[in-house]
Structure 1
Amino acid sequence: MDREDVQQVEESSKLEASLYNIQTTILDHQQRLSSLETFANTTSQDMKTVKARLATVSEENTKIKAKLTDLEKRSCRNNLPENIEGAQPLLDSAPELERAHRMLAPKPGPGEKPRAIVMRYHRFQTRELVVREARKLRGKLKYKGSPIHIFEDYSPEIVEQ
Protein backbone atom coordinates (compact mmCIF):
# COMPACT_ATOMS: atom_id res chain seq x y z
CA MET A 1 0.00 0.00 0.00
CA ASP A 2 1.25 3.30 -0.85
CA ARG A 3 0.96 6.45 1.06
CA GLU A 4 -2.17 7.69 -0.65
CA ASP A 5 -4.01 4.51 0.19
CA VAL A 6 -3.00 4.82 3.84
CA GLN A 7 -4.14 8.41 3.86
CA GLN A 8 -7.50 7.46 2.33
CA VAL A 9 -7.94 4.69 4.89
CA GLU A 10 -7.21 7.15 7.72
CA GLU A 11 -9.67 9.69 6.29
CA SER A 12 -12.20 6.94 5.85
CA SER A 13 -11.71 5.91 9.51
CA LYS A 14 -12.18 9.51 10.61
CA LEU A 15 -15.33 9.81 8.51
CA GLU A 16 -16.68 6.56 9.93
CA ALA A 17 -16.00 7.77 13.49
CA SER A 18 -17.62 11.09 12.71
CA LEU A 19 -20.59 9.34 11.11
CA TYR A 20 -20.91 7.09 14.14
CA ASN A 21 -20.93 10.15 16.44
CA ILE A 22 -23.58 11.83 14.29
CA GLN A 23 -25.74 8.68 14.30
CA THR A 24 -25.40 8.43 18.08
CA THR A 25 -26.41 12.07 18.46
CA ILE A 26 -29.39 11.59 16.12
CA LEU A 27 -30.55 8.54 18.10
CA ASP A 28 -30.20 10.49 21.35
CA HIS A 29 -32.22 13.37 19.88
CA GLN A 30 -34.88 10.96 18.62
CA GLN A 31 -35.23 9.46 22.08
CA ARG A 32 -35.44 12.89 23.69
CA LEU A 33 -37.96 14.06 21.10
CA SER A 34 -40.07 10.95 21.65
CA SER A 35 -39.93 11.55 25.40
CA LEU A 36 -41.00 15.18 24.92
CA GLU A 37 -43.89 14.15 22.65
CA THR A 38 -45.08 11.67 25.27
CA PHE A 39 -44.82 14.35 27.95
CA ALA A 40 -46.72 16.85 25.76
CA ASN A 41 -49.52 14.33 25.14
CA THR A 42 -49.77 13.51 28.84
CA THR A 43 -49.78 17.20 29.74
CA SER A 44 -52.45 17.90 27.14
CA GLN A 45 -54.69 15.16 28.53
CA ASP A 46 -54.05 16.36 32.08
CA MET A 47 -55.00 19.89 30.99
CA LYS A 48 -58.28 18.62 29.51
CA THR A 49 -59.03 16.82 32.78
CA VAL A 50 -58.22 19.94 34.81
CA LYS A 51 -60.43 22.11 32.56
CA ALA A 52 -63.34 19.69 32.95
CA ARG A 53 -62.84 19.60 36.73
CA LEU A 54 -62.62 23.40 36.84
CA ALA A 55 -65.92 23.68 35.00
CA THR A 56 -67.52 21.27 37.47
CA VAL A 57 -66.09 23.08 40.49
CA SER A 58 -67.15 26.43 39.04
CA GLU A 59 -70.70 25.16 38.56
CA GLU A 60 -70.75 23.73 42.10
CA ASN A 61 -69.42 27.05 43.44
CA THR A 62 -72.23 28.94 41.71
CA LYS A 63 -74.81 26.57 43.20
CA ILE A 64 -73.26 26.88 46.67
CA LYS A 65 -73.28 30.68 46.43
CA ALA A 66 -76.96 30.58 45.47
CA LYS A 67 -77.72 28.30 48.42
CA LEU A 68 -75.73 30.52 50.77
CA THR A 69 -77.58 33.60 49.58
CA ASP A 70 -80.88 31.78 50.03
CA LEU A 71 -79.91 30.69 53.56
CA GLU A 72 -78.83 34.22 54.47
CA LYS A 73 -82.08 35.53 53.07
CA ARG A 74 -84.06 33.01 55.10
CA SER A 75 -82.06 33.65 58.29
CA CYS A 76 -82.55 37.41 57.92
CA ARG A 77 -86.22 37.02 57.11
CA ASN A 78 -87.34 37.86 60.65
CA ASN A 79 -84.71 40.49 61.48
CA LEU A 80 -85.32 44.22 61.64
CA PRO A 81 -82.33 46.50 62.13
CA GLU A 82 -83.21 50.07 63.07
CA ASN A 83 -81.60 53.11 64.64
CA ILE A 84 -83.96 53.79 67.55
CA GLU A 85 -87.08 51.98 68.74
CA GLY A 86 -90.23 53.85 67.73
CA ALA A 87 -92.35 55.93 70.10
CA GLN A 88 -95.49 55.79 67.98
CA PRO A 89 -97.08 52.37 68.40
CA LEU A 90 -97.51 50.49 65.17
CA LEU A 91 -99.25 47.58 66.88
CA ASP A 92 -102.03 47.30 69.45
CA SER A 93 -99.73 45.38 71.81
CA ALA A 94 -96.02 44.74 72.17
CA PRO A 95 -94.86 42.11 69.66
CA GLU A 96 -93.35 38.84 70.78
CA LEU A 97 -89.64 38.87 70.04
CA GLU A 98 -87.36 35.87 69.93
CA ARG A 99 -84.40 38.16 70.52
CA ALA A 100 -83.23 41.72 70.13
CA HIS A 101 -79.69 43.07 70.33
CA ARG A 102 -77.58 46.00 69.22
CA MET A 103 -75.20 45.56 66.32
CA LEU A 104 -71.55 45.07 67.18
CA ALA A 105 -70.11 48.57 66.92
CA PRO A 106 -68.43 51.08 69.22
CA LYS A 107 -70.79 52.92 71.54
CA PRO A 108 -71.66 56.24 69.89
CA GLY A 109 -70.83 59.53 71.53
CA PRO A 110 -73.32 62.27 72.36
CA GLY A 111 -75.04 63.63 69.26
CA GLU A 112 -74.07 60.62 67.12
CA LYS A 113 -76.51 58.13 65.66
CA PRO A 114 -77.22 55.21 67.98
CA ARG A 115 -76.17 51.71 67.02
CA ALA A 116 -78.59 49.65 64.96
CA ILE A 117 -80.77 47.13 66.72
CA VAL A 118 -81.52 43.71 65.26
CA MET A 119 -84.85 42.19 66.24
CA ARG A 120 -86.13 38.75 65.46
CA TYR A 121 -89.89 38.48 65.72
CA HIS A 122 -91.55 35.37 67.02
CA ARG A 123 -94.15 35.56 64.25
CA PHE A 124 -93.38 36.43 60.66
CA GLN A 125 -96.79 38.06 60.23
CA THR A 126 -95.96 40.54 63.01
CA ARG A 127 -92.70 41.39 61.31
CA GLU A 128 -94.50 41.97 58.01
CA LEU A 129 -97.03 44.22 59.75
CA VAL A 130 -94.27 46.31 61.34
CA VAL A 131 -92.43 46.68 58.01
CA ARG A 132 -95.64 47.56 56.15
CA GLU A 133 -96.66 50.19 58.73
CA ALA A 134 -93.14 51.63 58.81
CA ARG A 135 -93.25 52.06 55.02
CA LYS A 136 -96.53 53.92 55.30
CA LEU A 137 -95.05 56.26 57.92
CA ARG A 138 -91.63 56.61 56.30
CA GLY A 139 -89.98 59.81 57.55
CA LYS A 140 -92.74 60.42 60.12
CA LEU A 141 -91.55 57.96 62.77
CA LYS A 142 -89.72 59.82 65.54
CA TYR A 143 -88.45 59.14 69.01
CA LYS A 144 -87.60 62.15 71.19
CA GLY A 145 -87.49 64.25 68.05
CA SER A 146 -85.06 61.92 66.25
CA PRO A 147 -86.21 60.10 63.11
CA ILE A 148 -86.48 56.33 63.22
CA HIS A 149 -85.63 54.20 60.21
CA ILE A 150 -86.74 50.58 59.82
CA PHE A 151 -85.07 48.41 57.19
CA GLU A 152 -85.23 44.76 56.26
CA ASP A 153 -81.93 43.02 56.92
CA TYR A 154 -80.56 41.70 53.64
CA SER A 155 -77.11 40.35 52.87
CA PRO A 156 -74.99 42.37 50.38
CA GLU A 157 -75.50 39.69 47.69
CA ILE A 158 -79.28 40.01 47.93
CA VAL A 159 -79.10 43.81 47.82
CA GLU A 160 -77.04 43.55 44.59
CA GLN A 161 -79.78 41.43 42.98
Structure 2
Amino acid sequence: MSGGVVTKVGRDQQNGQNSKTIEQKRDEEQVQHAEANSLALTMRSGLEAISKEIRDLKTEMKKDLTTLKEQVTEDVKSEINDLKREMYQQLSANTKTLQAQGSRIAEAEGRIAETETWNMEVKDALCKSLKQQQMLQDKLTDIEGRSRRNNIRIFGIPEDKEGDSAPKYLHQLLTTELSLPPNVNLQIQRAHRALAQKPNINSPPRSMIVHFLEFTVKEMVLKKAWQKKIVVEGRPLIFDHDYATEVVQKRKAYNGIKKLLKEKGIRFQTPLTKMRIPGTTDRSSTDPHKKQHAMPWQRVGERREGTARRAKEKLQEFERITQDSE
Protein backbone atom coordinates (compact mmCIF):
# COMPACT_ATOMS: atom_id res chain seq x y z
CA MET A 1 0.00 0.00 0.00
CA SER A 2 2.68 2.31 1.08
CA GLY A 3 4.58 1.32 -1.98
CA GLY A 4 1.68 2.28 -4.16
CA VAL A 5 1.34 5.65 -2.46
CA VAL A 6 4.98 6.34 -2.91
CA THR A 7 4.70 5.46 -6.49
CA LYS A 8 1.76 7.76 -6.94
CA VAL A 9 3.50 10.60 -5.14
CA GLY A 10 6.55 10.07 -7.19
CA ARG A 11 4.44 10.03 -10.31
CA ASP A 12 2.77 13.26 -9.25
CA GLN A 13 6.10 14.84 -8.57
CA GLN A 14 7.33 13.67 -11.86
CA ASN A 15 4.24 15.01 -13.60
CA GLY A 16 4.66 18.26 -11.76
CA GLN A 17 8.23 18.47 -12.87
CA ASN A 18 7.19 17.66 -16.42
CA SER A 19 4.54 20.36 -16.31
CA LYS A 20 7.10 22.81 -15.02
CA THR A 21 9.45 21.83 -17.76
CA ILE A 22 6.77 22.33 -20.41
CA GLU A 23 5.90 25.72 -19.02
CA GLN A 24 9.54 26.66 -18.98
CA LYS A 25 9.83 25.56 -22.53
CA ARG A 26 6.72 27.48 -23.40
CA ASP A 27 8.10 30.54 -21.68
CA GLU A 28 11.39 30.11 -23.41
CA GLU A 29 9.65 29.73 -26.70
CA GLN A 30 7.63 32.86 -26.02
CA VAL A 31 10.78 34.68 -25.07
CA GLN A 32 12.47 33.43 -28.18
CA HIS A 33 9.45 34.35 -30.22
CA ALA A 34 9.41 37.78 -28.67
CA GLU A 35 13.10 38.14 -29.32
CA ALA A 36 12.54 36.95 -32.87
CA ASN A 37 9.74 39.45 -33.31
CA SER A 38 11.87 42.13 -31.80
CA LEU A 39 14.75 41.18 -34.07
CA ALA A 40 12.39 41.10 -37.04
CA LEU A 41 11.07 44.52 -36.10
CA THR A 42 14.58 45.76 -35.67
CA MET A 43 15.59 44.30 -39.00
CA ARG A 44 12.45 45.64 -40.63
CA SER A 45 13.08 49.08 -39.25
CA GLY A 46 16.71 48.77 -40.33
CA LEU A 47 15.70 47.65 -43.80
CA GLU A 48 13.22 50.47 -44.01
CA ALA A 49 15.94 52.89 -42.96
CA ILE A 50 18.30 51.38 -45.50
CA SER A 51 15.58 51.53 -48.14
CA LYS A 52 14.95 55.13 -47.27
CA GLU A 53 18.63 55.89 -47.42
CA ILE A 54 18.83 54.12 -50.78
CA ARG A 55 15.82 56.09 -52.03
CA ASP A 56 17.32 59.28 -50.74
CA LEU A 57 20.66 58.34 -52.31
CA LYS A 58 18.96 57.59 -55.63
CA THR A 59 17.11 60.87 -55.48
CA GLU A 60 20.30 62.71 -54.59
CA MET A 61 22.29 60.86 -57.25
CA LYS A 62 19.57 61.59 -59.78
CA LYS A 63 19.71 65.24 -58.90
CA ASP A 64 23.51 65.19 -59.03
CA LEU A 65 23.46 63.39 -62.38
CA THR A 66 20.92 65.85 -63.71
CA THR A 67 23.05 68.74 -62.51
CA LEU A 68 26.20 67.10 -63.90
CA LYS A 69 24.48 66.45 -67.20
CA GLU A 70 23.32 70.02 -67.41
CA GLN A 71 26.78 71.28 -66.49
CA VAL A 72 28.50 68.97 -68.98
CA THR A 73 26.00 69.99 -71.63
CA GLU A 74 26.66 73.65 -70.94
CA ASP A 75 30.42 73.09 -70.95
CA VAL A 76 30.27 71.13 -74.21
CA LYS A 77 28.06 73.77 -75.80
CA SER A 78 30.43 76.48 -74.63
CA GLU A 79 33.46 74.58 -75.94
CA ILE A 80 31.73 73.94 -79.26
CA ASN A 81 30.74 77.58 -79.56
CA ASP A 82 34.29 78.68 -78.76
CA LEU A 83 35.63 76.19 -81.29
CA LYS A 84 33.15 77.40 -83.90
CA ARG A 85 34.08 80.99 -83.19
CA GLU A 86 37.81 80.21 -83.41
CA MET A 87 37.36 78.18 -86.60
CA TYR A 88 35.31 80.97 -88.14
CA GLN A 89 37.95 83.54 -87.25
CA GLN A 90 40.69 81.30 -88.63
CA LEU A 91 38.66 80.60 -91.76
CA SER A 92 38.03 84.30 -92.23
CA ALA A 93 41.73 85.03 -91.82
CA ASN A 94 42.62 82.26 -94.28
CA THR A 95 40.04 83.56 -96.73
CA LYS A 96 41.49 87.05 -96.54
CA THR A 97 44.99 85.65 -96.94
CA LEU A 98 43.95 83.60 -99.97
CA GLN A 99 42.23 86.61 -101.48
CA ALA A 100 45.34 88.72 -100.94
CA GLN A 101 47.54 85.99 -102.41
CA GLY A 102 45.14 85.60 -105.33
CA SER A 103 45.35 89.32 -106.09
CA ARG A 104 49.13 89.23 -105.78
CA ILE A 105 49.35 86.18 -108.04
CA ALA A 106 47.11 87.87 -110.59
CA GLU A 107 49.29 90.97 -110.42
CA ALA A 108 52.44 88.84 -110.74
CA GLU A 109 51.00 87.01 -113.74
CA GLY A 110 50.19 90.34 -115.35
CA ARG A 111 53.69 91.61 -114.72
CA ILE A 112 55.20 88.37 -116.02
CA ALA A 113 53.09 88.57 -119.17
CA GLU A 114 54.10 92.20 -119.65
CA THR A 115 57.74 91.31 -119.00
CA GLU A 116 57.58 88.46 -121.52
CA THR A 117 56.06 90.76 -124.11
CA TRP A 118 58.59 93.46 -123.39
CA ASN A 119 61.39 90.90 -123.42
CA MET A 120 60.43 89.69 -126.88
CA GLU A 121 60.14 93.26 -128.15
CA VAL A 122 63.54 94.05 -126.71
CA LYS A 123 64.93 90.89 -128.29
CA ASP A 124 63.54 91.94 -131.65
CA ALA A 125 65.04 95.40 -131.27
CA LEU A 126 68.31 93.92 -129.99
CA CYS A 127 68.55 91.46 -132.89
CA LYS A 128 67.94 94.25 -135.36
CA SER A 129 70.48 96.43 -133.57
CA LEU A 130 73.01 93.58 -133.58
CA LYS A 131 72.32 93.03 -137.25
CA GLN A 132 72.85 96.71 -137.98
CA GLN A 133 75.92 96.78 -135.76
CA GLN A 134 77.35 93.77 -137.60
CA MET A 135 76.67 95.45 -140.92
CA LEU A 136 78.39 98.63 -139.69
CA GLN A 137 81.29 96.54 -138.39
CA ASP A 138 81.56 94.84 -141.78
CA LYS A 139 81.53 98.22 -143.47
CA LEU A 140 84.18 99.49 -141.07
CA THR A 141 86.31 96.40 -141.69
CA ASP A 142 85.88 96.90 -145.43
CA ILE A 143 86.89 100.57 -145.14
CA GLU A 144 89.92 99.60 -143.07
CA GLY A 145 90.80 96.92 -145.62
CA ARG A 146 90.52 99.45 -148.43
CA SER A 147 92.81 101.81 -146.53
CA ARG A 148 95.34 98.95 -146.36
CA ARG A 149 95.02 97.94 -150.02
CA ASN A 150 98.27 99.69 -150.92
CA ASN A 151 100.16 98.04 -148.04
CA ILE A 152 102.43 95.01 -148.05
CA ARG A 153 103.37 93.20 -144.85
CA ILE A 154 106.83 91.60 -144.88
CA PHE A 155 107.75 88.93 -142.31
CA GLY A 156 111.29 87.82 -141.44
CA ILE A 157 113.40 90.99 -141.72
CA PRO A 158 115.76 91.02 -138.70
CA GLU A 159 115.27 93.72 -136.11
CA ASP A 160 117.16 97.02 -136.72
CA LYS A 161 118.16 95.83 -140.19
CA GLU A 162 116.43 98.82 -141.77
CA GLY A 163 118.66 101.31 -139.95
CA ASP A 164 117.54 104.90 -139.70
CA SER A 165 115.31 104.92 -142.81
CA ALA A 166 112.98 101.99 -143.40
CA PRO A 167 111.67 103.32 -146.79
CA LYS A 168 115.21 103.63 -148.22
CA TYR A 169 116.20 100.17 -146.98
CA LEU A 170 113.09 98.52 -148.40
CA HIS A 171 113.42 100.37 -151.70
CA GLN A 172 116.97 99.08 -152.07
CA LEU A 173 116.00 95.57 -150.90
CA LEU A 174 113.05 95.23 -153.26
CA THR A 175 114.90 96.73 -156.22
CA THR A 176 117.84 94.39 -155.71
CA GLU A 177 116.06 91.15 -154.78
CA LEU A 178 113.23 91.48 -157.30
CA SER A 179 115.58 92.47 -160.15
CA LEU A 180 113.74 95.71 -160.83
CA PRO A 181 115.17 98.39 -163.14
CA PRO A 182 117.48 100.82 -161.29
CA ASN A 183 115.45 103.83 -162.34
CA VAL A 184 112.10 102.40 -161.18
CA ASN A 185 110.25 104.49 -158.64
CA LEU A 186 108.39 102.31 -156.17
CA GLN A 187 106.83 105.39 -154.59
CA ILE A 188 107.09 104.05 -151.05
CA GLN A 189 105.22 106.59 -148.93
CA ARG A 190 106.05 105.17 -145.53
CA ALA A 191 107.35 101.99 -143.90
CA HIS A 192 107.57 100.92 -140.29
CA ARG A 193 107.63 97.96 -137.97
CA ALA A 194 104.44 96.49 -136.55
CA LEU A 195 103.26 98.44 -133.52
CA ALA A 196 104.29 95.91 -130.92
CA GLN A 197 106.91 95.64 -128.23
CA LYS A 198 110.40 94.92 -129.51
CA PRO A 199 111.01 91.16 -129.11
CA ASN A 200 113.97 89.42 -127.53
CA ILE A 201 116.95 88.29 -129.56
CA ASN A 202 115.75 84.68 -129.89
CA SER A 203 112.16 85.68 -130.71
CA PRO A 204 110.86 86.17 -134.27
CA PRO A 205 111.25 89.77 -135.48
CA ARG A 206 108.32 92.08 -135.93
CA SER A 207 106.82 92.36 -139.37
CA MET A 208 107.30 95.46 -141.52
CA ILE A 209 104.48 97.34 -143.22
CA VAL A 210 105.16 99.12 -146.51
CA HIS A 211 102.72 101.64 -147.97
CA PHE A 212 102.90 102.34 -151.72
CA LEU A 213 101.38 105.32 -153.43
CA GLU A 214 100.06 103.27 -156.34
CA PHE A 215 98.05 100.08 -155.98
CA THR A 216 99.43 98.73 -159.26
CA VAL A 217 103.02 99.08 -158.00
CA LYS A 218 102.09 97.27 -154.80
CA GLU A 219 100.48 94.41 -156.76
CA MET A 220 103.52 94.17 -159.05
CA VAL A 221 105.93 93.98 -156.12
CA LEU A 222 103.79 91.41 -154.32
CA LYS A 223 103.48 89.13 -157.37
CA LYS A 224 107.23 89.25 -158.04
CA ALA A 225 107.98 88.54 -154.38
CA TRP A 226 105.69 85.50 -154.47
CA GLN A 227 107.46 84.22 -157.58
CA LYS A 228 110.95 84.59 -156.12
CA LYS A 229 112.40 83.40 -152.84
CA ILE A 230 114.08 86.25 -150.95
CA VAL A 231 116.46 85.45 -148.09
CA VAL A 232 117.99 87.93 -145.65
CA GLU A 233 120.68 86.71 -143.23
CA GLY A 234 119.63 83.15 -143.84
CA ARG A 235 115.95 83.80 -143.17
CA PRO A 236 113.34 83.61 -145.92
CA LEU A 237 111.06 86.62 -146.20
CA ILE A 238 107.31 86.22 -146.46
CA PHE A 239 105.24 88.81 -148.36
CA ASP A 240 101.51 89.16 -147.86
CA HIS A 241 98.66 91.65 -147.97
CA ASP A 242 98.16 93.91 -144.96
CA TYR A 243 94.85 92.64 -143.62
CA ALA A 244 92.60 94.21 -141.01
CA THR A 245 92.60 92.63 -137.55
CA GLU A 246 89.16 91.03 -138.02
CA VAL A 247 90.25 89.54 -141.34
CA VAL A 248 93.44 88.15 -139.80
CA GLN A 249 91.42 86.41 -137.08
CA LYS A 250 89.10 84.87 -139.66
CA ARG A 251 92.02 83.72 -141.83
CA LYS A 252 93.69 82.06 -138.85
CA ALA A 253 90.74 79.68 -138.67
CA TYR A 254 91.87 78.21 -142.02
CA ASN A 255 95.50 77.61 -141.00
CA GLY A 256 94.91 73.90 -140.48
CA ILE A 257 93.28 73.51 -143.90
CA LYS A 258 96.02 75.52 -145.63
CA LYS A 259 98.69 73.40 -143.94
CA LEU A 260 96.99 70.21 -145.12
CA LEU A 261 96.71 71.56 -148.69
CA LYS A 262 100.40 72.44 -148.72
CA GLU A 263 101.34 68.96 -147.51
CA LYS A 264 99.32 67.41 -150.33
CA GLY A 265 100.74 69.80 -152.90
CA ILE A 266 97.38 71.37 -153.74
CA ARG A 267 97.51 74.98 -154.92
CA PHE A 268 95.08 77.37 -153.31
CA GLN A 269 94.43 81.08 -153.07
CA THR A 270 93.03 83.20 -150.27
CA PRO A 271 91.83 86.51 -151.75
CA LEU A 272 90.85 89.51 -149.70
CA THR A 273 87.68 88.93 -147.72
CA LYS A 274 84.57 90.39 -149.29
CA MET A 275 81.86 91.93 -147.21
CA ARG A 276 78.86 89.66 -146.66
CA ILE A 277 75.47 91.23 -145.95
CA PRO A 278 72.71 89.11 -144.25
CA GLY A 279 69.73 88.65 -146.56
CA THR A 280 71.65 87.89 -149.73
CA THR A 281 72.25 84.48 -151.29
CA ASP A 282 75.52 84.31 -149.35
CA ARG A 283 73.82 84.79 -146.01
CA SER A 284 75.97 84.73 -142.94
CA SER A 285 75.48 81.90 -140.46
CA THR A 286 75.65 84.46 -137.68
CA ASP A 287 72.45 86.17 -138.85
CA PRO A 288 70.72 87.67 -135.77
CA HIS A 289 67.31 86.45 -136.98
CA LYS A 290 68.58 82.87 -137.02
CA LYS A 291 69.94 83.40 -133.55
CA GLN A 292 66.55 84.65 -132.44
CA HIS A 293 64.75 81.55 -133.70
CA ALA A 294 67.38 79.39 -132.02
CA MET A 295 66.66 80.99 -128.67
CA PRO A 296 64.80 78.75 -126.17
CA TRP A 297 62.64 81.68 -124.97
CA GLN A 298 59.77 82.21 -127.36
CA ARG A 299 56.81 84.57 -127.23
CA VAL A 300 53.74 83.48 -125.24
CA GLY A 301 50.45 85.01 -126.37
CA GLU A 302 49.90 88.06 -128.51
CA ARG A 303 51.98 91.19 -128.32
CA ARG A 304 50.66 94.23 -126.55
CA GLU A 305 50.21 97.18 -128.85
CA GLY A 306 51.59 99.69 -126.36
CA THR A 307 54.80 97.76 -125.78
CA ALA A 308 55.25 97.05 -129.48
CA ARG A 309 54.70 100.71 -130.33
CA ARG A 310 57.23 101.89 -127.73
CA ALA A 311 59.83 99.39 -128.92
CA LYS A 312 59.22 100.43 -132.54
CA GLU A 313 59.60 104.11 -131.68
CA LYS A 314 62.86 103.46 -129.84
CA LEU A 315 64.16 101.38 -132.74
CA GLN A 316 63.24 104.12 -135.24
CA GLU A 317 64.96 106.70 -133.06
CA PHE A 318 68.06 104.47 -132.92
CA GLU A 319 68.04 104.07 -136.72
CA ARG A 320 67.65 107.83 -137.18
CA ILE A 321 70.61 108.53 -134.89
CA THR A 322 72.68 105.93 -136.74
CA GLN A 323 71.83 107.44 -140.12
CA ASP A 324 72.67 110.94 -138.86
CA SER A 325 76.02 109.73 -137.57
CA GLU A 326 76.81 108.20 -140.96
TM-score of the superposed pair, with normalisation by structure 2 = 0.42
Deviates more, 1:71-80 or 1:53-62: 53-62
1:103-114 residue pairs with structure 2 within 5 A?
103-104=194-195, 105-106=197-198, 109=201
1:11-160 residue pairs with structure 2 within 5 A?
11-82=83-154, 83-84=156-157, 85=170, 86=173, 87-92=176-181, 93-104=184-195, 105-106=197-198, 109=201, 115-137=206-228, 139=229, 141-143=230-232, 147-159=236-248, 160=251
Summarize the Cα distance change of 1:48–1:144 in structure 2 as closer, same or farther, 3 Å threshold. closer
Summarize the Cα distance change of 1:97–1:27 in structure 2 as closer, same or farther, 3 Å threshold. same
Point out the structure with the larger helix share. Answer: 2
Conservation of the 8 A alpha-carbon contact between 2:190 and 2:211: yes
1:113 Cα shift? 6.0
1:6 Cα shift? 5.2
Which structure's relative contact order is higher, taking Cα pairs within 8 Å and 6+ residues apart?
1
Conservation of the 8 A alpha-carbon contact between 2:153 and 2:239: yes
Deviates more, 1:9-18 or 1:68-77: 9-18
Give the secondary-structure state (helix, strand or coil) at the position aligned to 1:57. helix
Deviates more, 1:90-99 or 1:27-36: 90-99
Count residues with an aligned counterpart: 157
Gaps of 5+ in 1: none
C-alpha distance in structure 2 between counterparts of 1:32 and 1:114, whole Å: 69
C-alpha distance in structure 1 between counterparts of 2:104 and 2:234, whole Å: 86
Summarize the Cα distance change of 1:143–1:25 in structure 2 as closer, same or farther, 3 Å threshold. closer
Offset from partner CA, 1:19-71 (integer Å, 9 cap, x none)? 32222122112122122112211221121122112211221232123113212
Query: Which letter does structure 1 place at the counterpart of 2:85?
Result: S
1:148 Cα shift? 3.5
Conservation of the 8 A alpha-carbon contact between 1:131 and 1:150: yes
C-alpha distance in structure 1 between counterparts of 2:206 and 2:235, whole Å: 14
C-alpha distance in structure 1 between counterparts of 2:81 and 2:99, whole Å: 26
TM-score of the superposed pair, with normalisation by structure 1 = 0.77
Conservation of the 8 A alpha-carbon contact between 2:188 and 2:212: yes
Give the secondary-structure state (helix, strand or coil) at the position aligned to 1:150. strand
Larger radius of gyration: 2
